[in-house]
Amino acid sequence: SKLKMHPFIVMTVIAILCGVIGGWLFPESGLTLSEVINKVNSGFGSIMTSIGIVILCGTIIGTILEKTGAALTMANAILKVVGKKNSVVAMGAMGYITGIPVFCDSGFVVLSPISRALAQQSNTSLAVMATALSGGLYATHCLVPPTPGPIAMAGTLGADLGLTILVGLLVSIPAVLVAIIWAKKVSSTIHIEANSEYTLEELQKKYGKLPGTLQSFAPILLPIILIGIASVVSILGATGVVANIFTFLGKPVVALLIGVFLAIGMIPKQEKANTLSWVSSGITDSAAILAITGAGGAFGQILKALPIQASIQGLSSTGLGIFVPFIIACIFKLSMGASTVAMITTASIMVPLMETMGFASSLGRVLVVMAIGAGSMVASHANDSYFWVVSQFSDMKTEEAYKAQTGMTAAMGITIIIVLFVVSLFV
């Protein structure tokens, strides 16, 4: 931030330096000079594999929703139901629900046009809406199956899946409330214009009749519904032709591509000839986001190769109880960036410690899952791809993202572990 250096260059250089120094300090990591570059390349590529196409599709959808006025139609529909005073709460609730079946990265990409439009229609800083949306998505992403992290933790620790879902849904609520409060009290001090290309009046004058409410929501809601159905099919272990079809349609890439074609269908007749330029505009807008997100993945891959796990197993004998899985997950999250990696790694460490630490009961196992999820929230910063997705899609400067996103996610995780500690005293 001080040097005004582009985050892509910073993250890539730091990843290489960290790998070179780490390989020298820890020869057992196998990080030779050539292996450092291999890790940087593979880390960049693995992130692109998981969310690269999703980001591209999301920006295309967002561009079309913006240019057709569909985003403003959606914002007006939401404001009619909740009122301008409750628009921030509505954004957080939308994230809370969407984050259950959809990865927080993908969910933010898909819902960011609504966030921007709501900010414009309610005369609110885009930072406020983005923070509320990000927090809502993040809470259920880290705590509620069938998101991969929580469901993997439940399986690894032998926690009852149904009980994990129920407790996760309840525990996520105070996390979302913290995100909404943070958005209103802290992010409101960051002024970011919504910068919609056109106002509602200008679009109505240009195109006449704007897309209807259902048509406007379809490119966003249908992919979310398809991904949700695929998650249910996976949990139930359903097989057969119908199950395979829904599993295929529920893959984020397929679901978002369907959303792209639904969005293209909204382009007014007089603008059909410009369809290619509209899509190209979305692809161009995604370039910086893809570059920064990939660099964050490269940094995370280097950190995974270092012997962090061996350094923290001694925490199990400290007598800190429910705080042990939380602290371990915090360390992994802060050092590696990826919440899902932090969850899965911490769960593996906790497996042999469950009985000796007194967490062998059904509820005890679920509380450990929640504690790890809380730790994996603290905190989203520069080595986390989600940090860059939120900041870049919300026009935040890096220092503003630290204030809004990093501060909020730290507050969410700390709040949850306090709630869990209080609960652990009575169960």
| Number of alpha carbons in the 13 Å side-chain half-sphere of residue 230 | 22
Write out the two tokens for 371.
């504690």
Residues 6 or more apart whose Cβ sits within 8 Å of residue 389: 51, 55, 105, 108, 109, 289, 293
pLDDT (0 to 100) of residue 201? 64
Q: What is the 3-state secondary structure (H, E, C) of 303-319?
A: HHCCCHHHHHHHHHHCC
User: Does residue 257 have a pLDDT over 90?
Assistant: yes
Helices (H) and strands (E) in the chain, counts: 20, 0
pLDDT band at residue 173 using 50, 70 and 90 as cut-offs: very high
User: Does residue 261 have a pLDDT over 80?
Assistant: yes
Q: What is the pLDDT of residues 109-167, one digit of tens each?
A: 878 888 888 888 888 899 999 999 999 999 988 998 767 678 778 888 888 877 888 88
pLDDT (0 to 100) of residue 149? 79
Query: Residue 418: enclosing H or E segment and its boundaries?
Result: helix 407-424
pLDDT (0 to 100) of residue 208? 66
CA distances in angstroms from 20 to 14, 25, 47, 54, listed in the order given: 10, 9, 22, 32
pLDDT band at residue 308 using 50, 70 and 90 as cut-offs: low
Q: What is the pLDDT of residues 365-398, one digit of tens each?
A: 999 999 999 999 998 998 888 999 999 889 999 9
The full DSSP string for 210-261 is: PPPHHHHHHHHHHHHHHHHHHHHHHHHT--SHHHHHHHHHTSHHHHHHHHHH
Q: What is the mean pLDDT of residues 71-87?
A: 77
What's the rounded Cα separation, in Å, for the pair 22 and 297?
A: 17
CA distances in angstroms from 261 to 65, 217, 258, 323, 324, listed in the order given: 12, 13, 5, 47, 47
291 neighbors 236 (Cβ within 8 angstroms):
no
Write out the two tokens for 284.
């161009």
Residues 6 or more apart whose Cβ sits within 8 Å of residue 417: 322, 323, 326, 371, 374, 375
Q: What is the mean pLDDT of residues 420-426?
A: 89
Write out the two tokens for 4.
């005004």
Closest CA to 134 of 424, 379, 419, 397: 379
Give percent of the chain with pLDDT exceeding 90.
Answer: 32
Tell me how long the chain is.
427
pLDDT (0 to 100) of residue 227? 81
pLDDT band at residue 197 using 50, 70 and 90 as cut-offs: low
Label residue 14 exposed, middle or buried (CB < 10 Å: 0-12, 13-18, 19+). middle
74 neighbors 117 (Cβ within 8 angstroms):
yes
pLDDT (0 to 100) of residue 311? 61
- CA 214 from centroid of its chain's CA atoms: 25
Whether this model's pTM surpasses 0.75: no
State yes or no: cis peptide before 379, omega within 30 of 0: yes
Label residue 110 exposed, middle or buried (CB < 10 Å: 0-12, 13-18, 19+). buried
Q: What is the pLDDT of residues 14-41, one digit of tens each?
A: 889 989 999 999 998 889 999 999 999 9
User: Does residue 7 have a pLDDT over 80?
Assistant: no
Closest CA to 18 of 36, 3, 45, 6: 36
Write out the two tokens for 87.
């628009």
pLDDT (0 to 100) of residue 105? 82
pLDDT (0 to 100) of residue 172? 94
Q: What is the mean pLDDT of residues 280-289?
A: 82
pLDDT (0 to 100) of residue 229? 85
pLDDT (0 to 100) of residue 77? 80
Q: What is the mean pLDDT of residues 65-86?
A: 77
pLDDT (0 to 100) of residue 315? 60
What's the rounded Cα separation, in Å, for the pair 104 and 51?
A: 11
User: Does residue 266 have a pLDDT over 60?
Assistant: yes
Q: At what angle do helices 148-157 and 339-350 cross, to 10 degrees?
A: 0
